[in-house]
Chain A
Amino acid sequence: MTASSPSTVASDVCMSLQDVTISYGSFEAVKNVYMDLPKGKVTAFIGPSGCGKSTVLRALNRMNDLIPGCSLKGRVIFDQHDLYDKRVDPVEVRRRIGMVFQKPNPFPKSIYENIAFGARINGYKGDMDELVERSLRKAAVWDECKDKLKESGFSLSGGQQQRLCIARAIATEPEVILMDEPCSALDPISTLKIEETMHELKRSYTIMIVTHNMQQAVRVADMTAFFNAEAVEGGTGKVGYLVEFNETENIFNSPNQQSTLDYVSGRFG
């Protein structure tokens, strides 16, 4: 593969990371990641804290642009384009690759407006009421919200807020949804609901999810990437790298690497 022809990516690949290294200032947080994320599947990123899972995930829709000093080397191919090409507009990238964050972050607006905001920005011309309802239904939170659409998004519980944020991401109909530990701040029941939501969503979207919960990865993910971090000589901190990327079943039952086995069997981290 030559460096200047990103379009050689296989057609069932949604995003392709090619020798991606991400640094905060001079500190290299993750190094030399190669990964082909398949279309229409759920991919889970697992690994110990601080190994760079969030960093990689944020790189997929250029969210890292907003962190001063964060820079990326290598290429992230999406739809035949290097997302980090100078001509690419990060705002447009994010319109096609949505994101759900670790902490629920509804806007200080009504529930209805929380959904409508993104759709309007993306130039949605259809029936807004219908879109709001459809998105909330897909995110499995319609029943809890339908009577209080005019109330503030903050009036919902943490789990409901997170599903509202998922609904908000779905409403703009992105091709990919990135989720950074979407359940880490939630109780088990909300977590189950969100996992059900994900099963629904993977019919129409490609999903990448960072999770600390290995059962969750087993339950929702088709593919799993295991990241780890180790101290390098002369470095200022631990440098993250991709250890193994394979079908979830293989990662959990017959991993190729000893460290993966240690991690998934709980002997580690």
Chain B
Amino acid sequence: MCDTCGCAITDDVLEEKILTVELLEDLMLENNRQAESNRQHLDKEGVFCINLMSSPGSGKTTLLERTIDALSGKVKIGVIEGDLETENDAQRIRAKGAPAFQITTGTACHLDAKMVHRGLHHLPLNELDLVFIENIGNLVCPAAYALGEHINVTLLAVTEGDDKAMKYPVIFRAADMVIITKTDLLPYCDFDVQKAEKSIKLLNPKAQVLMLGKGDEKGLDEWIDFCAKKIVK
């Protein structure tokens, strides 16, 4: 019985000692630390790193193939590929003559900084100028994970609809650049480019928006120019 008031609380409950700990820390602390260390690793090697995010099939690997071709002989590119299964995308990159490391996550819907760390050790960083990370095709989860990239590029294919930025704001907020892809298919889709651009700007005023389609050399030139300017070596 309690001595103070005579209530029926037993001693061991009274003696339960509680410690309150204020942490006020980011839930992603562990991942963010690893991402920062990845970035330092890349900086030390003088490598610029771009993280590509989009839904499945928006054209990430196609963009990488075109980029490697366009910069061949000028800029050395390496790629870390993320997919749930298969080596397909890494093989497509290797067929273009660039080193690629495939991460297969099994069920995980995003890459995290630890996986990318492993990937970086499989690339000849000292020989490279530019590393691309092709994230898992998913418009939700990849946005939450810093990987050590210097910039994020989010792709949106015109076949996906012009309201996608509004529906998936987080990933468009994370982007430094948004590329609207498959613009050659505009005649077959009800995709209002101005509306899409307006909502991207509303969500993320600092994001640069670029248009790219099959056979569109002007869009590709703009992209290549953008990449070439990032080279630090």
A and B: bona fide binding partners? no
Residues of A at the B interface (CB closer than 8 Å) are none
Residues of B at the A interface (CB closer than 8 Å) are none
